[in-house]
A and B are shown apart, each in its own frame.
Chain A
Amino acid sequence: MKDKKTSYTPSRPAFFKRPHFDRRRFFEIAGAGLIASYLPLNPDRAKACTVQTSSPVTTQNKAKNVIFILLAGAPSHVDTFDLKVLNGTTPSKFAPTTVGGTAWPAGLLPQMATQLNNMVLVRSVQAHALVHSLSQHWTQIGRNPSAALGNIAPNIGSVVALELDSQRQPGQIFPAFLALNSATAVGNGYFPATYAPFRVNPASTGINNTTNPLGQPGFNNLWSEVHQLDDPLRVNSPLGQPVQDYDAFYTAANQMMYNSVVSKAFSFSTADSMRYGNTSFGNACLVAKQVLAANQGTRFIQITLGNWDMHIDIYGAQNPKGNNLFTLCPQLDTGVGQLLTDLNVGGLLNETLVVMVGEFGRTVGPVTPALGRDHLNQQAMIFAGGGVHGGKVIGSTLPDGSDTLDFGWTPPGGQPQRYVRPEDVEATIYSAVGINWTTERCDDPLGRGFQYVPTTDPVQYGPINELWT
C-alpha cells in the first residue's frame, strides 16, 4: 500500500526524500574547500623566506652598548629639545639660551645644557601615528604594530641582544637586554625568551628575589632538593627543549643569587641616588651606568620615563606641584646629566649610544584653553655617545615648530630627503652597534620573513649617518 503522504505523484518522491544536500553534508564539503584554500599547493608559497638574507651595507659599528630612554607620553618638543620661545607663552623660568648655536631651555634642563657638546639633537623627526600605546609600541619595535608582523615583532633591544650575545665572554652572567622602570616594555616577540627584556625596578637593595627567605644555606638545600627530584625531567628532558631551556633559566637565576657582582651593579648608595636626583628615573640611570661598568654581558638597556602627556597645565600655572614640565624635567635633567657625565668619566660614553625619544610631539604656539598641549606628529629627539659627533643639530623646523623646514639628513640609497621615522631610529641603533639593518630572518612563525627594519616601498628606511659626521 502506498503512503499518500510521501508520494503525490508516482514518478517523483516527496520533496524531502529527493536527493539533496543536508546541512551536515553541506558543511562537510564547504568546510573541506575552505580548509584546502589555506593549504599550500606549492611548498615555496608557504614559506616565502627560506634563507636569511641581507644586502651589503657599511655599519657604523662604533658602539658596544645602547641605552634607550623612552619618554612615554610624548614630551613637548617646542619646550625641550626644539625650543621655540613665544612671548607670553614660554615661562621666563625656562631661561632660554643658546649653547653653541643650539637654542636650549637652560632653566628647565640645566645639567643637560652642559652635556650638549656630547649630544646630537635631531629635529626633523615625525611619528606615524598619534595614539600613545600604538606609537610607543612602534617606537620600541621600529615598525607598525598593527601590520602583519607587528604582533610577533621583538623589541629593538631583543634584536640587539640576540645579535650581540654571540660576543658574550665566559663568566658574563647578566641578561643581554635589561629594562629598567619599564614594566610595559615590548617583549621579545617571537625571539627566544633569553632575549626578553629583564625587567627590574631599581631599588637600593638590588634585584628582588636574588636572596631566599631561608638564607643561603637553606637555599642550597632547596636547590639540591629540586634537582634531585626534578632532574629526570630537566636534564635531557623527555619533555623536550622548552623544559631544558627553562632549566637553563634556573641555572642563570642561581648564578645571579648571592652574587656580589650582581648586588654591586644593581644596588646603590643613598649618596649616589641623591646625585642622580633621588628619583626612580635617576636610580634607573644610576643602575644603567653601574651595569655597563660591570661589563657582564648587558648590551641594551631600556629606561622608561612617563607622564609627558601634558594636555592640562603644562607649565604648572594652576598647580605648580602637579605633573608639569617644571616637576618632570628636573628628573630627566638630573638623571641624564649625571648618566652622561659618569659614562664620560668612566670612558663608557664613546662605546655607549644613548637614545632619548618620545612617541610623538605636542602642539605648538600658545597653549590650549586647558593650558596644555595636545598631540602632534612633529617631534625632536637626542642621540649621545657611541661616537656620535656631539654638539650639533640635525634638521630644523618652522619658526613655530609645527613642521620640519630642513630635514638635515639623507636617507640611504640616494632617496629624496624626508622625515626621520621610528624605523630610521631603529636602523640607526643597529648600525651603531654593527648589526646589518637589512637582515631578513626566516625563522618567524608566520613564514613571511622578518626584516629587522621593514621596507615599505618605495621608502627605504636606514640609519642617520649624519650623526657621526
Chain B
Amino acid sequence: MPTYGQINYAMQFPEPIGVPDGTNGHISMWLDSFLRGNRDDQPRSSDGSILQALNLMNDTFVVNRTYPGTPVGALLPNNINLANTDLVNALFLNVLSRYPTATEMSEALQSLSNTQTRNQQAQNLLWSLYNKVDFIFNY
C-alpha cells in the first residue's frame, strides 16, 4: 500500500479513484460499476446496469458472504443452529434490517424444511437477500 501525507481537504482523499486495490483493481471495478463518481467531474449516480446485476449475483464480494468458511461469511455459522423461524428472522434483520413479511417467511421456511439440504438452502436464502431489490435500492 502506498502511504499518504497529511490530508487537509476531502478532495485529497485517496479514495475513490486511482488506488491500487484488490487483484487487478477488483474493488475499483466493483465500485465503479455502481457509479460512485470521482468527487471531481463525474457525479454519483444510482442508476442500475447489467454489470451491477452480474456483480451482485456472481462476484466473490457477495458470494463469499454466504460461504461459512470465509472471514466475511460468519453470519451463517453464527446463526445456523437457530430454529428455522429464528434463522430467517436473523438473516433478514442482519441483511435488510427488518423482519420478513408473512409471505417471505413462508417462502423461506418452505425452502429450509428439507433437513438434507438445509445448509445449502440457508446459503441460497442469504444470497437472495443480498440480491433482493430492496437491499439494492435501500443500501
Contact = CB atoms under 8 A, between A and B. Distances in A.
Interface of A: 133-134, 137, 145, 151, 175, 183-184, 186-188, 192-193, 196, 198-199, 201, 207-214, 219, 221-222, 225-226, 228-230, 232-234, 237, 239, 242-243, 245-247, 249-250, 252-254, 256-257
B38 interface: yes
B19 to A, nearest CB: 12
A262 to B, nearest CB: 11
B108 interface: yes
12 contacts: A134-B41, A151-B43, A199-B32, A199-B33, A208-B54, A208-B59, A210-B58, A225-B124, A226-B128, A229-B107, A246-B48, A247-B133
Given A199-B51, A226-B128, A230-B131, 18 more contacts: A133-B41, A184-B17, A187-B35, A196-B47, A208-B29, A209-B57, A209-B59, A212-B57, A222-B127, A225-B121, A230-B132, A230-B133, A246-B53, A246-B136, A247-B133, A250-B57, A250-B131, A252-B50
Contact of A233 (B17, B50, B125, B134): B134
A201 B24 contact: yes
Contacts of A187: 35, 42, 45, 47
B137 interface: yes
B38 A184 contact: yes
Contact of B49 (A193, A209, A219, A232): A193
Interface of B: 17, 24-25, 28-29, 32-33, 35, 38, 40-43, 45, 47-55, 57-60, 63, 103-104, 107-108, 111, 120-121, 124-125, 127-129, 131-134, 136-137
Given A199-B33, A256-B50, A226 B38 contact: no
B128 A229 contact: yes
B42 A186 contact: yes
Contact of B104 (A186, A229, A246): A229
A253 B54 CA distance: 6
Nearest to A255: B50
B45 A209 contact: no
Contacts of A211: 58
B42 A184 contact: yes
Contacts of A137: 41
Nearest to A243: B133
Given A183-B28, A222-B127, A249 B49 contact: yes
A237 B128 CA distance: 17
Given A210-B58, A211-B58, A234-B133, A193 B32 contact: no
Contact of A242 (B60, B63, B120, B137): B137
A249 B133 contact: no
B120 to A, nearest CB: 8
A222 B48 contact: no
Given A242-B137, A243-B133, A249 B50 contact: yes
Contacts of A198: 49-51
A139 B45 CA distance: 21
Contacts of B51: 198-199, 253
A226 B54 contact: no
A225 B47 contact: no
B56 to A, nearest CB: 8
Contact of B60 (A213, A233, A243): A213
Contacts of A193: 47-49
Given A133-B40, A199-B32, A229-B107, A249 B48 contact: yes
A254 B49 CA distance: 12
Nearest to B17: A184
Contacts of B45: 187
Nearest to B129: A229
Contacts of A230: 128, 131-133
Contact of B53 (A188, A242, A250): A250
Chain A CB within 10 A, most for which of B24, B40, B43, B51: B51
A207 B54 CA distance: 10
Contacts of B120: 221
A249 B42 contact: no
Contacts of A183: 25, 28-29, 32
A185 to B, nearest CB: 10
B53 A253 contact: yes
A197 to B, nearest CB: 9
Nearest to B134: A233
Contact of B137 (A186, A232, A239): A239
Given A193-B49, A201-B29, A229-B104, A243 B57 contact: no
A229 B105 CA distance: 9
Contacts of A225: 111, 121, 124-125, 127-128
A232 B103 contact: yes
Contacts of B32: 183, 199
Contacts of B121: 225
B49 to A, nearest CB: 5
A237 B53 contact: no
A186 B35 CA distance: 10
B53 A252 contact: yes
A133 B39 CA distance: 13
B5 to A, nearest CB: 22
B15 to A, nearest CB: 15
B133 A212 contact: no
B52 A249 contact: yes
A289 B111 CA distance: 45
Contacts of B134: 233, 239
